[in-house]
C-alpha cells in the first residue's frame, strides 16, 4: 500500500490510460466509483493521500453535478493539469457514452437487463469495493473516538434523511464540529500541493473567468433557445437540448439517480423522448460501467436517427458535463489556497470524518440493499473483499471475475 504521494508529474496519456480502464470496469454507481478511484489513485499509484482525496470528495459533494465524475476530473487535474482533467473525464465517460448511444439506435434489441445474472455479479462486487474504500479511509481519517463519533453520526443522519441537500448539510455539520470540537489537524501528514504546483494548473483569474462562464451559460442558453432566429433554424433542437442538459448538470445536487426526475421532465414533457424509451434507456444505464450521467447520450441519440441522433447525443453529453468542468476547475484555485489555512484545515478534519460516514451509509443504502439478496450473495461479497483487501487483486480484475462467475452460476442454476 502506498502511503505517500507521487512527486512525479503525470502525463495526459498516463491519466487517459488509467481512467479508460476505470471507465471500462467501474460498475456499481457513484459511491462504488469513489472506491475504484481511491484504490487506483491513492492506494495503487500514490497520486495523493487519503486526506487530500477526502478533501476533493467533500468539495465535489458541495458542488452540483455528478460528484464521482467531478472527483475523477479533479484527480486528473492534480496529476496532469487541465489536459489531465479532460483526459480523466474522456477515459471514464467515453465507454458508457458509446454503449448507451449505441443502445439508442437499437433499443428494441436491448431486452430486460435488470434480472441478468452478470449484472447482479457486478453489483455484488461493488459492495466489496465500497466496503474496502470505507475501511481504508476510516483507518486514516477517523483514528480517534471524536472523529469516529462524527462519522457514525453522519452515517445515521444520511440513513434517516434522504433529501436532495442532505449530503451538503451533513458535510457542513462535520465542518462545524471540526472547528469547535475535534482535535487540531497535523499539517505534515497531508498532501498540500496547491493549484500553483499543478502542471498546467488554473490561476485564480482563470478560475474566476470559468465561474463567470458557468453563470453566463446558465442564463444565456434559455434565452437563446427562445430567440426567433434560433427557433426558425434547423439546429434549434440542438440549442434546446444544450439548454436542457446544461441546466440539469448545473442545478442537480447528489448526481446519479437524483438527476433522473429532472431529465425526465426536460425530455419527456416536450416530446423529445417517450416514457417507454426513457425507461428502456434507464435500464440499460444500469448495465454499463461509468457515470450514470452518460444516460444523456442515450437520450440525445433517441431524439433523431442517423447522423442527427449521433449529433444530439454528443450535444447532450457535453452539455450535461460542462457545468462540472466550469465549476470544479473554477473553484479549485481558491480551494487549494483556502485548505492551507488553519481554520479551514480544522473544518476539513470534521468534513473528512463526515465523508467516511456518508460512504458508510451508502454502503448499506443503496449499495448493499440493491445487490445482496441472500447467503450466496454475502459469500461472493466476502470473496471479493478478500481478493481486494488481502490479496491486492486489481479492482478491474475482481469486477470482471465477479460478473463472469455470477453469470456462470446463473447458467448452471437455470
pLDDT digits (tens, 9 = 90+) for 120-136: 777 788 788 888 888 98
76 pLDDT more than 90: yes
- Range of 196-205, 264-273, 315-324, 351-360 with top mean pLDDT: 315-324
Closest to 327 (Cα-Cα) out of 161, 194, 214: 214
Share of the chain above pLDDT 70, in %: 85
Q: Read off the pLDDT of residues 240-290 as tens digits, 9 standing for 90 and up.
A: 999 999 998 887 765 555 566 667 778 887 888 887 777 777 767 767 889
Predicted local distance difference test score (pLDDT) of residue 119: 66
Predicted local distance difference test score (pLDDT) of residue 88: 97
Q: Sort residue 193 into left (φ over 0), alpha (ψ -120 to 50) or beta.
A: beta
User: Average of pLDDT values for 66-81?
Assistant: 93
Predicted local distance difference test score (pLDDT) of residue 103: 84
| pLDDT top residue among 260 and 361 | 361
| pLDDT top residue among 18 and 111 | 18
Predicted local distance difference test score (pLDDT) of residue 225: 83
Q: Read off the pLDDT of residues 202-233 as tens digits, 9 standing for 90 and up.
A: 889 999 999 999 999 999 999 988 887 777 66
Closest to 75 (Cα-Cα) out of 110, 46, 103: 46
Predicted local distance difference test score (pLDDT) of residue 93: 96
- Cβ-proximal residues to 312 (8 Å cutoff; 6+ apart), any chain: 237, 238, 241, 300, 301, 303, 304
Predicted local distance difference test score (pLDDT) of residue 316: 96
Cβ distance 151 to 171 under 8 Å? no
Share of the chain above pLDDT 90, in %: 38
User: Average of pLDDT values for 286-297?
Assistant: 86
CA 242 to chain centroid, in Å, comes to 21
Q: What is the Cα–Cα distance from 290 to 274, expressed in whole angstroms?
A: 25
| pLDDT top residue among 195 and 179 | 179
What are the residue boundaries of the structural domains of the chain, listed by start?
12-194+338-413, 204-325
Average pLDDT across the chain, whole number: 83
At residue 291, φ and ψ (nearest 5 deg) are -75, 145
1 pLDDT more than 50: no
Of the candidate ranges 171-175, 190-194, 238-242, the one whose mean pLDDT is the lowest: 190-194
- Cβ-proximal residues to 131 (8 Å cutoff; 6+ apart), any chain: 363, 381, 385
Predicted local distance difference test score (pLDDT) of residue 269: 77
Predicted local distance difference test score (pLDDT) of residue 278: 79
Predicted local distance difference test score (pLDDT) of residue 6: 47
Predicted local distance difference test score (pLDDT) of residue 5: 46
| pLDDT top residue among 403 and 5 | 403
Amino acid at each position: 500500500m502506498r502511503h505517500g504521494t507521487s512527486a512525479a508529474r503525470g502525463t495526459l496519456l498516463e491519466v487517459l490510460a488509467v481512467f479508460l480502464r476505470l471507465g471500462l470496469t467501474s460498475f456499481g454507481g457513484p459511491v462504488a466509483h469513489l472506491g475504484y478511484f481511491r484504490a487506483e489513485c491513492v492506494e495503487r499509484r500514490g497520486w495523493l493521500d487519503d486526506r487530500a482525496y477526502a478533501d476533493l470528495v467533500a468539495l465535489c459533494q458541495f458542488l452540483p453535478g455528478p460528484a464521482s465524475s467531478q472527483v475523477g476530473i479533479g484527480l486528473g487535474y492534480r496529476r496532469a493539469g487541465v489536459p489531465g482533467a479532460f483526459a480523466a473525464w474522456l477515459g471514464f465517460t467515453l465507454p458508457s457514452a458509446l454503449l448507451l448511444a449505441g443502445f439508442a439506435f437499437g433499443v428494441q434489441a436491448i431486452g430486460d437487463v435488470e434480472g441478468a445474472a452478470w449484472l447482479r455479479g457486478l453489483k455484488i462486487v461493488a459492495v466489496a469495493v465500497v466496503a474496502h474504500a470505507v475501511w481504508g479511509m476510516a483507518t486514516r481519517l477517523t483514528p480517534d473516538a471524536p472523529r469516529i463519533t462524527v462519522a457514525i453520526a453522519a452515517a445515521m443522519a444520511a440513513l434517516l434523511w434522504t433529501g436532495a441537500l442532505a449530503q451538503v448539510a451533513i458535510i457542513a455539520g462535520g465542518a462545524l464540529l471540526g472547528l469547535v470540537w475535534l482535535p487540531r489537524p497535523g499539517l505534515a501528514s497531508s498532501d498540500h500541493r496547491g493549484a500553483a504546483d499543478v502542471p498546467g494548473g488554473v490561476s485564480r483569474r482563470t478560475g474566476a473567468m470559468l465561474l463567470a462562464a458557468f453563470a453566463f451559460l446558465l442564463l444565456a442558453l434559455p434565452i437563446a433557445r427562445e430567440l426567433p432566429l434560433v427557433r426558425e433554424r434547423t439546429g434549434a433542437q440542438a440549442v434546446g437540448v444544450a439548454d436542457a442538459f446544461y441546466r440539469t448538470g448545473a442545478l442537480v445536487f447528489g448526481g446519479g439517480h437524483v438527476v433522473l426526475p429532472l431529465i425526465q421532465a426536460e425530455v419527456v414533457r416536450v416530446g423529445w423522448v417517450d416514457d417507454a424509451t426513457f425507461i428502456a434507456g434507464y435500464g440499460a444505464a444500469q448495465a454499463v460501467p461509468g457515470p450514470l450521467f452518460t444516460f444523456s447520450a442515450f437520450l440525445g441519440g433517441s431524439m433523431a436517427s442517423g447522423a442527427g441522433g449521433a449529433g444530439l447525443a454528443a450535444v447532450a453529453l457535453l452539455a450535461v458535463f460542462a457545468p462540472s468542468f466550469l465549476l470544479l476547475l473554477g473553484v479549485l484555485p481558491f480551494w487549494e489556497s483556502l485548505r492551507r489555512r488553519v481554520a479551514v484545515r480544522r473544518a476539513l478534519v470534521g468534513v473528512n470524518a463526515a465523508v467516511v460516514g456518508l460512504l458508510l451509509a451508502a454502503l448499506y443504502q443503496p449499495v448493499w440493499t440493491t445487490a445482496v439478496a441472500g447467503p450466496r450473495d454475502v459469500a461472493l461479497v466476502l470473496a471479493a473483499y478478500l481478493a481486494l483487501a488481502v490479496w491486492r487483486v486489481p479492482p478491474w480484475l475482481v469486477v470482471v471475475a465477479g460478473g463472469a462467475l455470477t453469470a456462470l452460476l446463473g447458467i448452471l442454476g437455470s
